[in-house]
Amino acid sequence: MKIFKNKKTLIKKLNGDQNLSFIPTMGALHKGHLSLIKKAKKKRFKTLVSVFINPKQFERKQDFKRYPKNLRKDIQILKKEKIDYLFIPKFKDIFSFKCQNKVFLSNFSNKLCGKFRTGHFKGVLEVVSRFLEIIKPKYIYLGVKDFQQLVLISEHIKKRRLKTKVISCKTIREKNGLAISSRNKLLKTNEKKIAIKTINFLKNRKKKIVLKDINSITNRLLNFGVTKIDYIKIMDIKKLKYENKVKKNCNIFIAFSVNKIRLIDNF
Protein backbone atom coordinates (compact mmCIF):
# COMPACT_ATOMS: atom_id res chain seq x y z
CA MET A 1 0.00 0.00 0.00
CA LYS A 2 1.36 3.39 -1.01
CA ILE A 3 0.42 6.41 1.09
CA PHE A 4 0.05 9.89 -0.43
CA LYS A 5 -0.29 13.03 1.68
CA ASN A 6 -0.59 15.59 -1.10
CA LYS A 7 -2.37 15.62 -4.42
CA LYS A 8 0.68 16.44 -6.58
CA THR A 9 2.50 13.22 -5.76
CA LEU A 10 -0.74 11.23 -6.10
CA ILE A 11 -1.53 12.68 -9.55
CA LYS A 12 2.04 12.02 -10.66
CA LYS A 13 1.80 8.40 -9.53
CA LEU A 14 -1.60 7.80 -11.14
CA ASN A 15 -0.39 9.38 -14.39
CA GLY A 16 -3.87 9.47 -15.89
CA ASP A 17 -4.71 5.86 -14.98
CA GLN A 18 -8.50 5.90 -14.67
CA ASN A 19 -8.93 2.17 -13.98
CA LEU A 20 -9.37 2.87 -10.29
CA SER A 21 -11.95 1.96 -7.68
CA PHE A 22 -12.38 4.82 -5.20
CA ILE A 23 -13.71 4.60 -1.64
CA PRO A 24 -14.00 8.00 0.07
CA THR A 25 -14.02 7.90 3.89
CA MET A 26 -13.66 10.17 6.88
CA GLY A 27 -11.64 7.55 8.72
CA ALA A 28 -12.63 5.74 11.93
CA LEU A 29 -12.89 2.72 9.66
CA HIS A 30 -15.31 -0.12 10.42
CA LYS A 31 -16.85 -3.20 8.82
CA GLY A 32 -19.05 -1.03 6.60
CA HIS A 33 -16.00 0.55 5.00
CA LEU A 34 -14.33 -2.84 4.68
CA SER A 35 -17.36 -4.18 2.81
CA LEU A 36 -16.96 -1.37 0.26
CA ILE A 37 -13.28 -2.21 -0.14
CA LYS A 38 -13.96 -5.93 -0.58
CA LYS A 39 -16.62 -5.22 -3.21
CA ALA A 40 -14.27 -2.83 -5.02
CA LYS A 41 -11.46 -5.38 -5.11
CA LYS A 42 -13.71 -7.82 -6.98
CA LYS A 43 -13.49 -5.50 -10.00
CA ARG A 44 -9.76 -6.26 -10.08
CA PHE A 45 -8.95 -2.59 -10.56
CA LYS A 46 -6.54 -0.81 -8.25
CA THR A 47 -8.26 0.42 -5.08
CA LEU A 48 -7.78 3.91 -3.69
CA VAL A 49 -9.13 4.89 -0.28
CA SER A 50 -9.17 8.45 1.00
CA VAL A 51 -9.25 9.52 4.63
CA PHE A 52 -10.34 13.13 4.98
CA ILE A 53 -12.66 14.62 7.60
CA ASN A 54 -14.39 17.32 5.61
CA PRO A 55 -15.07 20.40 7.79
CA LYS A 56 -17.48 21.84 5.22
CA GLN A 57 -20.13 19.21 5.89
CA PHE A 58 -20.37 19.96 9.61
CA GLU A 59 -22.72 22.68 10.80
CA ARG A 60 -20.94 23.10 14.13
CA LYS A 61 -17.21 23.14 14.82
CA GLN A 62 -17.90 21.13 17.96
CA ASP A 63 -19.27 18.22 15.88
CA PHE A 64 -16.24 18.38 13.58
CA LYS A 65 -13.81 18.27 16.50
CA ARG A 66 -15.73 15.43 18.17
CA TYR A 67 -15.81 13.20 15.09
CA PRO A 68 -13.90 9.97 15.93
CA LYS A 69 -10.30 9.83 14.72
CA ASN A 70 -7.69 7.08 14.77
CA LEU A 71 -5.48 7.44 11.71
CA ARG A 72 -2.84 5.01 12.96
CA LYS A 73 -5.43 2.26 13.35
CA ASP A 74 -6.98 3.14 9.97
CA ILE A 75 -3.62 2.71 8.26
CA GLN A 76 -3.12 -0.69 9.93
CA ILE A 77 -6.57 -1.82 8.77
CA LEU A 78 -5.97 -0.70 5.18
CA LYS A 79 -2.57 -2.38 5.03
CA LYS A 80 -4.23 -5.62 6.12
CA GLU A 81 -6.83 -5.18 3.37
CA LYS A 82 -4.00 -4.77 0.85
CA ILE A 83 -5.41 -1.74 -0.91
CA ASP A 84 -3.18 -0.11 -3.50
CA TYR A 85 -3.31 3.56 -2.55
CA LEU A 86 -4.21 5.58 0.53
CA PHE A 87 -4.76 9.33 0.07
CA ILE A 88 -4.61 11.46 3.24
CA PRO A 89 -4.86 15.02 1.94
CA LYS A 90 -4.76 18.28 3.86
CA PHE A 91 -7.47 20.90 3.53
CA LYS A 92 -5.46 22.97 1.02
CA ASP A 93 -4.94 19.93 -1.22
CA ILE A 94 -8.68 19.64 -1.70
CA PHE A 95 -9.86 23.24 -1.61
CA SER A 96 -6.97 25.34 -2.96
CA PHE A 97 -7.79 24.86 -6.65
CA LYS A 98 -10.70 25.97 -8.81
CA CYS A 99 -12.95 23.02 -9.53
CA GLN A 100 -13.91 22.54 -13.18
CA ASN A 101 -17.34 21.13 -12.35
CA LYS A 102 -19.75 23.29 -10.40
CA VAL A 103 -21.64 21.31 -7.78
CA PHE A 104 -25.11 20.22 -8.90
CA LEU A 105 -27.41 20.03 -5.90
CA SER A 106 -30.79 18.59 -6.90
CA ASN A 107 -34.09 19.31 -5.16
CA PHE A 108 -33.79 16.00 -3.34
CA SER A 109 -31.29 17.78 -1.09
CA ASN A 110 -34.23 19.62 0.51
CA LYS A 111 -35.81 16.42 1.85
CA LEU A 112 -34.89 14.22 4.83
CA CYS A 113 -31.61 15.42 6.38
CA GLY A 114 -31.49 18.43 4.08
CA LYS A 115 -34.24 20.09 6.14
CA PHE A 116 -32.20 19.79 9.32
CA ARG A 117 -28.54 20.10 8.30
CA THR A 118 -28.04 23.43 6.54
CA GLY A 119 -25.24 23.30 4.00
CA HIS A 120 -24.35 19.69 4.78
CA PHE A 121 -24.94 18.18 1.35
CA LYS A 122 -23.39 21.12 -0.45
CA GLY A 123 -20.28 20.49 1.65
CA VAL A 124 -20.34 16.77 0.84
CA LEU A 125 -20.69 17.35 -2.88
CA GLU A 126 -17.99 20.00 -2.94
CA VAL A 127 -15.42 17.60 -1.51
CA VAL A 128 -16.55 14.58 -3.56
CA SER A 129 -16.50 16.62 -6.78
CA ARG A 130 -12.93 17.69 -6.03
CA PHE A 131 -11.83 14.16 -5.22
CA LEU A 132 -13.29 12.96 -8.52
CA GLU A 133 -11.45 15.70 -10.40
CA ILE A 134 -8.13 14.77 -8.77
CA ILE A 135 -8.47 10.98 -9.00
CA LYS A 136 -10.78 10.48 -12.01
CA PRO A 137 -11.79 6.97 -10.88
CA LYS A 138 -13.72 4.45 -12.93
CA TYR A 139 -15.91 3.60 -9.94
CA ILE A 140 -16.86 5.20 -6.63
CA TYR A 141 -18.28 2.98 -3.89
CA LEU A 142 -20.93 4.38 -1.54
CA GLY A 143 -23.09 2.82 1.17
CA VAL A 144 -26.88 2.72 1.07
CA LYS A 145 -27.06 3.70 4.75
CA ASP A 146 -26.30 7.24 3.58
CA PHE A 147 -28.99 6.93 0.92
CA GLN A 148 -29.60 10.65 0.39
CA GLN A 149 -25.90 11.31 -0.01
CA LEU A 150 -25.59 8.43 -2.47
CA VAL A 151 -28.45 9.76 -4.61
CA LEU A 152 -27.15 13.33 -4.61
CA ILE A 153 -23.64 12.28 -5.62
CA SER A 154 -25.12 10.09 -8.38
CA GLU A 155 -27.21 12.99 -9.69
CA HIS A 156 -24.21 15.32 -9.64
CA ILE A 157 -22.12 12.82 -11.62
CA LYS A 158 -24.93 12.32 -14.14
CA LYS A 159 -25.65 16.04 -14.53
CA ARG A 160 -21.98 16.91 -15.06
CA ARG A 161 -21.52 13.92 -17.38
CA LEU A 162 -18.59 12.55 -15.42
CA LYS A 163 -17.23 9.15 -16.42
CA THR A 164 -17.22 7.77 -12.88
CA LYS A 165 -19.85 5.13 -12.12
CA VAL A 166 -21.48 4.94 -8.70
CA ILE A 167 -21.60 1.49 -7.11
CA SER A 168 -24.12 1.32 -4.24
CA CYS A 169 -23.35 -1.12 -1.43
CA LYS A 170 -25.72 -2.61 1.13
CA THR A 171 -25.84 -1.44 4.73
CA ILE A 172 -23.73 -3.55 7.07
CA ARG A 173 -25.29 -4.13 10.48
CA GLU A 174 -24.18 -5.41 13.83
CA LYS A 175 -25.82 -8.62 15.06
CA ASN A 176 -28.14 -6.50 17.18
CA GLY A 177 -29.53 -4.79 14.04
CA LEU A 178 -27.84 -1.41 14.43
CA ALA A 179 -26.27 -0.07 11.23
CA ILE A 180 -22.52 0.13 11.62
CA SER A 181 -21.35 3.74 11.71
CA SER A 182 -18.29 5.65 12.89
CA ARG A 183 -20.60 7.63 15.16
CA ASN A 184 -21.52 4.45 17.06
CA LYS A 185 -18.10 4.70 18.70
CA LEU A 186 -19.28 7.86 20.47
CA LEU A 187 -22.25 6.08 22.08
CA LYS A 188 -22.06 5.01 25.70
CA THR A 189 -23.37 1.53 26.55
CA ASN A 190 -26.83 2.71 27.61
CA GLU A 191 -27.08 5.10 24.65
CA LYS A 192 -26.29 2.27 22.26
CA LYS A 193 -29.03 0.12 23.82
CA ILE A 194 -31.53 2.92 23.16
CA ALA A 195 -30.40 3.19 19.52
CA ILE A 196 -30.69 -0.59 19.04
CA LYS A 197 -34.17 -0.66 20.60
CA THR A 198 -35.27 2.23 18.36
CA ILE A 199 -34.16 0.61 15.10
CA ASN A 200 -35.49 -2.84 15.94
CA PHE A 201 -38.85 -1.39 16.99
CA LEU A 202 -39.24 0.26 13.58
CA LYS A 203 -37.89 -2.70 11.60
CA ASN A 204 -40.32 -5.10 13.27
CA ARG A 205 -43.27 -2.83 12.43
CA LYS A 206 -42.15 -1.60 9.02
CA LYS A 207 -44.91 -3.17 6.92
CA LYS A 208 -47.64 -1.90 9.26
CA ILE A 209 -46.49 1.71 9.55
CA VAL A 210 -48.72 4.38 8.01
CA LEU A 211 -48.37 8.15 8.09
CA LYS A 212 -51.07 8.69 10.73
CA ASP A 213 -49.12 6.47 13.16
CA ILE A 214 -45.91 8.54 13.04
CA ASN A 215 -46.82 10.79 15.99
CA SER A 216 -47.58 7.87 18.29
CA ILE A 217 -44.42 6.07 17.11
CA THR A 218 -42.40 9.22 17.81
CA ASN A 219 -43.74 9.37 21.37
CA ARG A 220 -42.93 5.70 21.86
CA LEU A 221 -39.33 6.22 20.77
CA LEU A 222 -38.94 9.25 23.03
CA ASN A 223 -40.09 7.04 25.89
CA PHE A 224 -37.28 4.63 25.00
CA GLY A 225 -34.82 7.41 25.80
CA VAL A 226 -34.32 8.97 22.35
CA THR A 227 -33.49 12.63 22.92
CA LYS A 228 -34.69 14.05 19.61
CA ILE A 229 -36.25 12.84 16.36
CA ASP A 230 -35.67 14.97 13.27
CA TYR A 231 -37.89 12.81 11.09
CA ILE A 232 -39.49 9.45 10.49
CA LYS A 233 -40.52 9.22 6.84
CA ILE A 234 -41.89 6.64 4.44
CA MET A 235 -40.24 7.10 1.05
CA ASP A 236 -40.39 5.42 -2.34
CA ILE A 237 -36.68 4.94 -3.07
CA LYS A 238 -37.28 4.75 -6.82
CA LYS A 239 -39.44 7.86 -7.19
CA LEU A 240 -37.79 9.68 -4.24
CA LYS A 241 -41.23 10.71 -3.00
CA TYR A 242 -42.83 10.52 0.43
CA GLU A 243 -45.66 8.02 0.82
CA ASN A 244 -48.51 7.61 3.31
CA LYS A 245 -47.87 3.92 3.89
CA VAL A 246 -45.24 1.30 3.25
CA LYS A 247 -45.64 -0.38 -0.13
CA LYS A 248 -43.42 -1.65 -2.93
CA ASN A 249 -40.02 0.12 -3.16
CA CYS A 250 -40.62 1.95 0.12
CA ASN A 251 -38.20 2.33 3.01
CA ILE A 252 -38.57 3.84 6.44
CA PHE A 253 -36.10 6.70 6.94
CA ILE A 254 -35.18 8.01 10.37
CA ALA A 255 -32.82 10.57 11.86
CA PHE A 256 -32.67 10.67 15.66
CA SER A 257 -30.37 11.68 18.47
CA VAL A 258 -29.42 9.89 21.65
CA ASN A 259 -28.12 12.71 23.82
CA LYS A 260 -25.77 14.55 21.42
CA ILE A 261 -25.10 11.70 18.99
CA ARG A 262 -27.17 11.92 15.79
CA LEU A 263 -27.82 8.69 13.88
CA ILE A 264 -29.54 7.97 10.56
CA ASP A 265 -30.85 4.77 9.02
CA ASN A 266 -33.18 3.42 6.38
CA PHE A 267 -34.56 -0.06 5.75
Residues 213 and 144 in one domain: no
Domain that holds residue 139: 2-169
Residues 106 and 222 in one domain: no
Residues 227 and 165 in one domain: no
Number of domain units in the chain: 2
Residues 6 and 129 in one domain: yes
CB 46 within 8 A of CB 84: yes
Q: What is the pTM of this model?
A: 0.95
The answer to whether residue 120 is catalytic is no
Spot the catalytic one: 30, 33, 120, 156: 33
Q: What's 216's domain CATH number?
A: 3.30.1300.10
Domain boundary among 122, 144, 169: 169
Phi, psi angle pair for 215, to nearest 5°: -60, -45
Residues 246 and 195 in one domain: yes
The separation between the first and the last C-alpha atoms of the chain, rounded to the nearest angstrom, is: 35
Residues 142 and 213 in one domain: no
CB 167 within 8 A of CB 140: yes
Write out the chain's pLDDT in tens, 267 residues. Answer: 999 999 999 999 998 787 999 999 999 999 999 999 999 999 889 999 999 999 999 988 888 998 999 999 999 999 999 999 999 999 999 999 999 999 999 999 999 999 999 999 999 999 999 999 999 999 999 999 999 999 999 999 999 999 999 999 999 999 999 999 999 999 999 999 999 999 999 999 999 999 999 999 999 999 999 999 999 999 999 999 999 999 999 999 999 999 999 999 999
Q: Which residues pair with 187 in a beta bridge?
A: none
Residues 255 and 216 in one domain: yes
Residue 175 lies in a domain: no
Residues 61 and 123 in one domain: yes
By residue count, the chain amounts to 267
Q: What's 140's domain CATH number?
A: 3.40.50.620
